[in-house]
Amino acid sequence: LFSWFREMLDSRPVSQGGEHGVEVFGYADITRILADTKTFSSETARKFNEPHFELDRFNEGNLVTSDPPRHRQLRTVISQVFTPRAVANLSERIELITGTLLDKVADQDSFDLVDALAFPLPITVIADVLGLPIEDEPMFRVWGDAIGALDAATVPLDLLEGEVGPALHEMGEYFLRHVRDRRQNPRDDVMSRLANATIEGEPLTDGEMIGVTGLTMFAGHATTMSLICTAVILLDQHPEALAEVRANRDLVPGALEEVLRMYPPFPRLVRVTTTETEIGGHPVAADELVTPWIGAANRDATKFPDPDRFDIHRNTGGHLVFGQGIHFCLGAPLARLEGRIALNMLLDRYSKISVDSARGVEWENPHQIICPRRLPVRASR
């Protein structure tokens, strides 16, 4: 994927005709697209999908696929309960969860980092924040995969009629049960605050509730999991950087930003044109699917000199990993906090932790999400 990004950045920074519509690779073109929400709409789901009850119900409250003014209303609901301050207060809880997960593999000198930490950490934290029982985790896994499938602009009908539709249905009913419960018996959890939120004085509809809660639950899962894994992989590949980070933990946040720049969990976003326009001098018709490859923009040499070099001291400001503009990721502070705690705790517990390539690292489809499915590591104390 990364060599293809390089090839496209060098030869065809705007390209048309493939399954992803108009594909855009350059930093300047992509930031222009993300800023111009009038011409480049996020309402791809409504535009490209056949009507489908479960999908449409979820999308009613899915702010990622909404435009203003609706987007602003939905975003206000989540951002009121999910403030950076509320997230900062989660440190202790996240440390406790990370410690408990690592205790479970304390007697093993080789384990799968995905199973041991990267998968369960973000799902346990967010279930905890929302106030949902972690015993429901097996179901969360199935629903998380279903939501992952919605990331494509067009969700094939046979997928919806196969696994994804029923999973969305179960997930919707599950969240609605919790919402009704919290409306009657509010507790001190984010689910209660979401359930009792209003838009212009009105309670949220069922669909809006499902989208808002489902997105809060799952948007940060595979992505944070990816950050934890790719941090371990990149530092393992760069022993000098690892030694520096070990010796000076103030370098952890910068190192994680560089990990994100190089291995963005979501390599691409989707938009649809509302009128005829142009991108980088190329004419583009109305109603066209547009795919900004943010993973490529993060390796555009006009923005990041010597972009394929992993440099924990580089200025990563302006990277597009969390998007940009009105849809900028609401979970960025939480993802960064979990990444910092996970990496610091791994470095505290182990004097050496390295990827065990012989036991086979497996990746998800990198065109959708850059994230290992399996990451065997060797660890010594």
Give me the residues that bind ligand HEM (CB under 6 A), please.
42, 63-64, 75, 78, 126, 215-216, 219-220, 223-224, 227, 265-266, 269, 321-323, 327, 329-331, 334-335
372 within 8 A of 114, measured Cβ to Cβ: yes
Using the minimum distance from each CB to ligand HEM, give the nearer residue, 195 or 219. Answer: 219
Smallest separation, CB 266 to ligand HEM (Å): 5
Smallest separation, CB 225 to ligand HEM (Å): 9
165 within 8 A of 48, measured Cβ to Cβ: no
Using the minimum distance from each CB to ligand HEM, give the nearer residue, 13 or 265. Answer: 265
Using the minimum distance from each CB to ligand HEM, give the nearer residue, 88 or 358. Answer: 88
Between CA 174 and CA 86 the distance in angstroms is 25
Smallest separation, CB 352 to ligand HEM (Å): 26
Smallest separation, CB 314 to ligand HEM (Å): 18
112 contacts: CB under 8 Å, gap ≥ 6: 374, 375, 376, 377
Using the minimum distance from each CB to ligand HEM, give the nearer residue, 34 or 179. Answer: 34
Going by C-alpha positions, the residue among 283, 332, 334, 279 that lies closest to residue 34 is 279
HEC sequence for 297-348: HCCCCCCCCCCCCCCCCCCCCCCCCCCCHHHCCCCHHHHHHHHHHHHHHHHH
Using the minimum distance from each CB to ligand HEM, give the nearer residue, 56 or 356. Answer: 56
313 contacts: CB under 8 Å, gap ≥ 6: 251, 254
Using the minimum distance from each CB to ligand HEM, give the nearer residue, 2 or 166. Answer: 2
Residue 69: cis peptide before it, omega within 30 degrees of 0: yes
Smallest separation, CB 65 to ligand HEM (Å): 8
Between CA 86 and CA 189 the distance in angstroms is 11
Between CA 82 and CA 78 the distance in angstroms is 6
Smallest separation, CB 127 to ligand HEM (Å): 11
Give the position of tokens 């519509």: 21
Using the minimum distance from each CB to ligand HEM, give the nearer residue, 76 or 108. Answer: 76
Smallest separation, CB 52 to ligand HEM (Å): 21
Between CA 13 and CA 101 the distance in angstroms is 43
Instruction: Give whole-number Cα distances, 37 to 11, 71, 103, 226, in Å.
Output: 27, 11, 46, 28
The residue number whose beta carbon is nearest to ligand HEM equals 331
Using the minimum distance from each CB to ligand HEM, give the nearer residue, 120 or 331. Answer: 331
Smallest separation, CB 73 to ligand HEM (Å): 11
* CA-CA-CA-CA dihedral for 57, 61, 67, 69, to nearest 10: 120
Give the position of tokens 């517990």: 349
99 within 8 A of 116, measured Cβ to Cβ: no
Give the position of tokens 């998380």: 144
Smallest separation, CB 49 to ligand HEM (Å): 16
Using the minimum distance from each CB to ligand HEM, give the nearer residue, 42 or 316. Answer: 42
